[in-house]
Amino acid sequence: MPKALFGITLFFAAGIWLAASWLLSPKPLWLGELFLGIAALYAVVRKREYVLPLVLGLFFVAGMLRFIELDKLPQDDISLWAGQTVTVQGRISQMPQWGEVDFRRVGVKYVVDVNQVTVNGASYKASGGIAVTLEQRTATERASYGDDVNITGKITLPANYRNPGLLDTATGFHLQGTGREQAIGTIRQAMSAQDAAVLSGVLFGGTFGIDKQVVKDFSATGLIHILSVSGTHIVLVAGAIAWLCARLGLGQKKTAFMSSVGLVGYALFAGLSAPVVRSVIMGLLSVAALGLGREKNAFQALVMAALIMLMYQPVQLFDISFQLSFGASAGLILLYGKTADKLAFLPKWLKGPVSVTLAAQLGVLPFIAWYFHSFPLISFVANIVVLPIIEVVVVVGLLGVLIAPVWLVGGKMLLVGCALLLGTAERLTVALASLKGTSVFLPTIGVTAGALYYLLLLWIYRYLPHPVPSPAAILQRWPKQAAALSIAIVICLEVYCDYPRPVQVHFIDVGQGDATLITTPHGRAVLIDCGESNPITGFDAGERIVSPYLQHYGVKSVDYLILTSGQMEDAGGSVGLVTTLPVKNILVPESGETKAAAKLKRNVSGSRVISAVLGEQVQLDGVTFTVVYTPEKEKSQGSTSSNSILVRYGQQSFLIMGDAGMEADEILVSSGLEPGSVLKVARHGAKTSTTRQLLQTFSPEYAVISVGNNTFGYPHSEMLARLKEKEIKILRTDRDGAIVFTTDGTKLSAEIFVKQ
């Protein structure tokens, strides 16, 4: 049964993944589900040996159907008015989040539960929620949690930047909880805004309102999991209740019952968000196993929790919190005991924390490599020094918010104590994060490599079937052959890493902006533009999208950052990029100073800044980057002020137009521009961009449009018609996600991230 349960969960998850990756019709799936159901029933009645394959197929199709069913929106969902200007009536369902833009303005984010929408004078019932970010004067009174509001504006869908290795932002928004607001209000009354934000994150999950540097420090020390409700919280709550029950002399079953009641209460109190529900389900199953004397069935309980959660919300399969939570839990259940046995030589006070950290990190290593690209070695120290303080904060903090409604002074005293402990924990975390050389770069581990990694892990820990010899047995029986094979593998990996590779040109999905990455045969990186930065929302594409994307592809530093313009949507993210990755050279346009360019110059250090004059050329590993157009200085302040860059490798060339206008097309045509392969369409597909003359002269095979949610109607239908006239293949980041071209200088291929 345990193996069957694991297989069922695995096949159900595979069905969800397939349904999310491809557009599937539900009718043939229902027919297939009916056929498999009848066949499985027949096999059970006749006691056939092929029952399990049929059941696995049944759950595989069920996973697809479940995802398709929940992917459908209610008929009154607010998102059905996307693209329209409406007036929404609703209630603020979360504490507003705000941050300072400057000394006069703040950006305020409201989350509103919708109950009515008015369009062109007609009102309709509506459901769902919206997030609204407003720029307000500091003196303006802000709305509060629970207020009824009317908001007029254009409905846009949540931005989900479809790039490999990037967190699924739309899924994260969909899974947010809305409870716990009264408790957060109590916490804010007892301490400073920053301490309140950190304590709220520690108790209930989330990073809203927490200083970015604090989040980075927690991430750098491997403690970021404390800002998401996880097994740690459940263990502490259940442990505190079990301790109290032991003092009252209650038996094992009564203790399990009281712990279950406490966990359900915590879930209701913390807000029924996905991480809370997931962790509590796992806790309830574990407590049930304990009460029934079945402690050894913890892994089955974990798998059952995964199946229940995926049946309830299939979209969680793509949520990083879900992935890390179950990966770490599986690591602790399967690897902790054997790891502790191997580390028996360590002192008892050290063996436990080190074994816990190592087991959990081994369980999530492929996910850490996919999302974060580094392993914090300092996490072993942080889990020994800082985590115990955080555990005390969780227990005392929950006690404080529970006591406050009936004894306000006592509750606030406990919360003030939490603030002092948090300050100590933060100072220790900052000190550990500042140490150099405490993290190891991890190359991206894909699905195939991840599966091989887990098979290798299970082999090393001797979980594979008995006929498979253990590593120790192989070394003992064939020592010379094993050594020779290991050396051969290392040599092959070294040769593979040093061998020249094809050139790749990545058009990254940064929404309404531009970001193009070019990697050379020997892995050097050039980035042309890097998306926008929004001071109102605090969103920085360079930090949140481009930098993770580069690290996902193994880029540790950027040789050249080329900015085609100083406009915010192309250069705004440059500050976020240079603060997260080393940039050796920056080519900036000669145009006048802009806010984005000025901010970059204030924050850049250690980079050589070069003015990109007409004809400026950079050569790296046989790839040539040439500035083929610059606007006249007296016209360099407009929205169409932008340089154009020609990237050439062998017989293939890419024309990156930036935000250049019609004048650029005319000059490029008259300058003797040769035919090329790929055109990055100017101005995100504006009506006047990409003239017939340019298309006739450059004659590209592909046209790439980097575009996101916008109020301009980009890409314009007339511009698209001109591309279709020339039978040019059109690729768009808003539809296809990240677009990657690969060439050896002769052949050219294209791959898109969104396969639908």
pLDDT confidence of residue 291: 65
> Residue 709 has what DSSP assignment?
S
pLDDT confidence of residue 101: 60
Nearest to 527 by CA among 466, 477, 459, 573: 573
Fold topology of 78-157: OB fold (Dihydrolipoamide Acetyltransferase, E2P) (2.40.50)
Helix (H) or strand (E) holding 506: strand 503-507
Helix (H) or strand (E) holding 232: helix 231-247
Question: What is the pTM (predicted TM-score) of this model?
Answer: 0.74
C-beta of residue 68 within 8 angstroms of C-beta of residue 19: yes
Q: What angle do CA 220, 221, 223 make, to 5 degrees?
A: 110
Amino acid residing at 98: W
| Lowest-pLDDT range of 179-183, 718-722, 738-742 | 179-183
**What would the pLDDT profile of 494-522 be if each residue is shown by its tens digit?**
787 778 889 999 999 998 889 999 999 99
The tokens of 76 are what? 């009154």
- Tell me the average pLDDT across 595-624: 82
Tokens 């899974």 identify what position?
175
Distance CA 270, CA 256 (A): 21
Nearest to 110 by CA among 130, 124, 128: 130
743 against 213, higher pLDDT = 743
Q: What is the CATH number of domain 503-752?
A: 3.60.15.10
720 against 229, higher pLDDT = 720
Amino acid residing at 215: V
Distance CA 78, CA 407 (A): 41
> Residue 221 has what DSSP assignment?
T
Kindly indicate the confidence band of residue 400, based on its pLDDT and cuts at 50, 70 and 90: confident
Helix (H) or strand (E) holding 518: strand 515-519
b/e map 604-621, b = 16+ CB within 10 Å:
beebeeeebeeebebebe
**What would the pLDDT profile of 313-324 be if each residue is shown by its tens digit?**
888 888 777 787
**What would the pLDDT profile of 670-711 be if each residue is shown by its tens digit?**
988 999 999 999 999 998 889 999 999 999 999 999 998 777
**Summary mean pLDDT of the chain:** 83
pLDDT confidence of residue 103: 59
Kindly indicate the confidence band of residue 175, based on its pLDDT and cuts at 50, 70 and 90: very low
Kindly indicate the confidence band of residue 177, based on its pLDDT and cuts at 50, 70 and 90: very low
C-beta of residue 700 within 8 angstroms of C-beta of residue 708: no
